[in-house]
Structure 1
């Protein structure tokens, strides 16, 4: 299954149901350039995530850090961490994505000791999975096996999946991490999500820097530092980019027009909307709309 449009709520929490009928787990292939945005937008979820690049290479951002993950390599993304992904060098990147509820990784008796400390640690937002290391190869092989099990649905496949998850988690924690729990990091993550949540609720209105800073209980300068450190852009540039993202689904509607869409997503000038849209997508909103109509 390919997810082409990541549904997220106002706080960027992904709304995709990460589960099969009976298991709190999802495993599917993702082709980055087939997403509606052309990339996997910034989001987060309670589930832990494992990635295995099958083809090409991708640039992942997890919280403030960026890294390149190449064909055959993997990645663990911890619960609650903001993350996004872009294709690198037009490599037609495809990856297996495995999302799992932390409570399903091990039994409740083992969860408190062997899972909870890891998903709460502030120094473990992600972990690169190297296929050349035995523990890394074990994890990546198990991801492939889980993907096969979900598609084949042989008798008792649910039990086989739990066996593979236990194998994955054991190989993840045998590295002997010195876990850390910094209150300042937890507060920073919470404030960033508060500001993003406020923007996503009010993007169609007039937004000032003071409004965004107030949502995160920060000064204007601190607010700018948060955005530049984590998102590599200013708060108001983020607002503009988000408005353009929101315009895409509206432009695909047959009865919409560019001016109406511009005002619906918070622009107070059609020409300014067209200019920003062109710089972002290398085409005008009208060209985008016509292309999407032709695809229907």
Structure 2
């Protein structure tokens, strides 16, 4: 199953249901450039995520760090971490994505000791999984098995999946990470999500830098430092990009027109919207609309 539109709420929390009919997990293949935006939007979720790159290469951002994940390798993304992905060098990147509720990894009696400390650690937002390491090879092979079992739904496949999840987690933690819990880092993450939440609630309105800073209980300069460090952009530039992202779904509606969409997503000038859209999407809003209508 290909998820082409990663829907997030005002807190950037992904709304995709990460579960099968009976299990609190989801496993599916994703072709990055087939997403409605051409890349995977910045988002987060309570589930932990495992990724296996099947084809090409991908650039992932987790919190404020960026890294390239090569074909055949994988990635662990911890619960609650902001992340996004784009393909590298038009490589046609395809990856298997496995999302799992942390509470489903191990029985409750073991959760407190072997899972909870890892999802709370502030120095463990992600882990690169190399196929040439035995523990990494084990994890990646288990992801493939789980993906196959979910598609085939053979007898007792749910039990097979739970066994593999335990195996995955064991291979993840045998590395002996020294976990850290930094209250300052926790507060930074909370404030960043507060500011993004405010932007996503008010994107259609006039937005000033003071408004965004106030949402995170920060000064204007500190607000700018947060966005520069984590998102590599300015607060108001992020607002423009987010407005353009919100315009994509509206432009695909048959009855919509460019001017109406521009005002609906917070631009007070059609020409300014067209200019920013072209720079972001390498085409005009009208060209994008026609392309989507023709399914090109």
Q: TM-score, normalising length from structure 1?
A: 0.99
- Displacement of 1:259 in angstroms is 0.6
> Could you say which residue in structure 2 is the equivalent of 1:43?
43
> Could you say which residue in structure 1 is the equivalent of 2:111?
111
> Could you say which residue in structure 2 is the equivalent of 1:144?
144
> Could you say which residue in structure 1 is the equivalent of 2:99?
99
- Displacement of 1:293 in angstroms is 1.4
Paired residues, what number?
Answer: 296
> Could you say which residue in structure 2 is the equivalent of 1:129?
129
> Could you say which residue in structure 2 is the equivalent of 1:196?
196
> Could you say which residue in structure 2 is the equivalent of 1:67?
67
- Displacement of 1:112 in angstroms is 0.2
1:186 paired with 2:177, answer no
| In 1, Cα distance between equivalents of 2:120 and 2:30 | 27
| In 2, Cα distance between equivalents of 1:79 and 1:136 | 19
- Displacement of 1:20 in angstroms is 0.3
> Could you say which residue in structure 1 is the equivalent of 2:157?
157
SS of the residue 1:295 aligns to: coil
| In 2, Cα distance between equivalents of 1:288 and 1:54 | 29
Query: Which runs of 5 or more structure 2 residues have no equivalent in the other structure?
Result: none
1:266 paired with 2:263, answer no
Q: How does 1:153-232 map to 2 (within 5 A)?
A: 153-232=153-232
| Moved beyond 3 Å, runs of 4+ | none
Stretch deviating more after TM superposition (250-259 or 95-104): 250-259
| In 2, Cα distance between equivalents of 1:119 and 1:231 | 22
> Could you say which residue in structure 1 is the equivalent of 2:246?
246
> Could you say which residue in structure 2 is the equivalent of 1:236?
236
| In 1, Cα distance between equivalents of 2:271 and 2:134 | 56
Once the two structures are superposed, what CA deviation does each residue of 1:123-176 show, in whole Å capped at 9, x if it has no partner?
000000011111000000100010111111111110000000000000000000
| In 1, Cα distance between equivalents of 2:33 and 2:293 | 19
- Displacement of 1:202 in angstroms is 0.1
| In 2, Cα distance between equivalents of 1:32 and 1:188 | 29
| In 2, Cα distance between equivalents of 1:272 and 1:65 | 31
| In 2, Cα distance between equivalents of 1:41 and 1:260 | 24
SS of the residue 2:212 aligns to: helix
- Displacement of 1:295 in angstroms is 1.7
Once the two structures are superposed, what CA deviation does each residue of 1:72-127 show, in whole Å capped at 9, x if it has no partner?
00000000000000000100000000000000000000000000000000000000
> Could you say which residue in structure 2 is the equivalent of 1:256?
256
Q: How does 1:72-87 map to 2 (within 5 A)?
A: 72-87=72-87
Query: Which runs of 5 or more structure 1 residues have no equivalent in the other structure?
Result: none
SS of the residue 2:76 aligns to: strand
- Displacement of 1:37 in angstroms is 0.3
| In 2, Cα distance between equivalents of 1:135 and 1:282 | 42
- Displacement of 1:290 in angstroms is 1.1
| In 1, Cα distance between equivalents of 2:67 and 2:295 | 34
| In 1, Cα distance between equivalents of 2:293 and 2:156 | 45
Stretch deviating more after TM superposition (249-258 or 42-51): 249-258
- Displacement of 1:294 in angstroms is 1.4
